Structure 1
Amino acid sequence: MTTTPINLNRFRKLRARAERKAEADVNAVAFGRTRAEKTLAAARAEKAARLLDGHRRETDTSED
């Protein structure tokens, strides 16, 4: 009944690699966006800021 020795470091590293992969997949879903999506979001934010500034009332702040 002889068994071959097993390398525990190999299994530890495999488990760590699987955990990192799982975390990366979660992050990809949460934060991953394509360049086109980022560009579109930036353009929409800029347009919204321009519209907001266009509707702003001008007030006279000088005191004479």
Structure 2
Amino acid sequence: MKSLQDLVSRCNKITGRARMLDEIINYVQSLQRQVEFLFMNIATLNPRPEFNIDNFSRKEVRF
């Protein structure tokens, strides 16, 4: 729990475990949305058929 708390800076002052986990989940979901947004922008700029965000999650992206 301490390692997760250290990774998410806004969790440093939260004391309850449930609230801290909620904040961490929200943070991770926010990061996922940002990654998806960035990949959509990249795909718009570079529309290659082999570019697929699903492949990225499996670390098989080819540029």
TM superposition score category, shorter chain reference: 0.3 to 0.5
Larger radius of gyration: 1
Q: Whose RCO is larger (CA < 8 A, sep 6+)? A: 2
Report the TM-score, using the length of structure 2 for normalisation: 0.43
